[in-house]
């Protein structure tokens, strides 16, 4: 009655702040469990942990995502069959720790931004008869009047 997936994804982000745009990258580890039978068929939970791969620099300022975590409720098509494209909606909470370095301000400054997060996930089999899937996940991790953090990750998922 439960299906499990583990995935690893290179995630490319776009951070907009004060009219500037930065694109640091992360590697995200994702784990999810989903009900496959009964009234909750297609409903699941997903946990995400992201670690930095690269920073972004513009106009003498360097920005890096030091850490990212998220928890989502996933909503998938209950009529999903193993050979079909799996489409899921992600609704939950994400927290992102940013580190900015501006030499004129004297060192690094860390801030954490968290709140409602949403997105979608697509998974399709790599080969018939194997439990490996291509995975594409896109999400809005944070948004307020001054800052937005979005990302899309591409990687491989394994179904248990």
Closest CA to 14 of 148, 109, 107: 148
Give me the pLDDT at residue 19, please: 83
Residue 111: pLDDT band (50, 70, 90) is: very high
Place of tokens 């008869």: 129
How confident is the model at residue 24, as a pLDDT?
96
Residue 122, pLDDT > 90, answer yes
Which tens digit of pLDDT belongs to each residue from 2-52? 989 999 999 999 999 878 899 999 999 999 999 988 899 999 999 999 999
Residues 124-160 have pLDDT tens digits of: 999 888 889 999 999 999 999 999 999 999 999 998 8
Please write the tens of the pLDDT for every residue from 40-97. 999 999 999 999 999 999 888 899 999 999 999 999 988 877 678 989 999 999 999 9
CB neighbours of 64 closer than 8 A, spacing ≥ 6? Answer: 24, 52, 54, 55, 56, 98, 99
Q: pLDDT tens for residues 45-61?
A: 999 999 999 999 988 88
- The whole model's pTM is what? 0.90
Tokens of 119: 């997105």
Distance CA 30, CA 32 (A): 7
């Amino acid at each position: 009655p439960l299906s499990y997936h583990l995935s690893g994804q290179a995630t490319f982000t776009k951070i907009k702040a004060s009219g500037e745009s930065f694109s640091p990258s992360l590697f995200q580890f994702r784990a999810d469990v989903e009900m496959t039978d009964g009234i909750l068929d297609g409903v699941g939970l997903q946990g995400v942990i992201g670690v930095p791969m690269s920073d972004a620099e513009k106009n003498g300022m360097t920005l890096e995502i030091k850490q990212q975590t998220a928890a989502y409720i996933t909503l998938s098509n209950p009529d999903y069959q193993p050979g079909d494209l799996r489409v899921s909606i992600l609704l939950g909470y994400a927290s992102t720790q940013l580190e900015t370095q501006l030499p004129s301000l004297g060192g690094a400054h860390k801030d954490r931004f968290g709140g409602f997060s949403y997105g979608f996930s697509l998974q399709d089999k790599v080969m018939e008869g194997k439990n490996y899937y291509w995975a594409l996940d896109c999400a809005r991790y944070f948004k307020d009047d001054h800052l937005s953090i979005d990302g899309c990750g591409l990687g491989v998922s394994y179904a248990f």
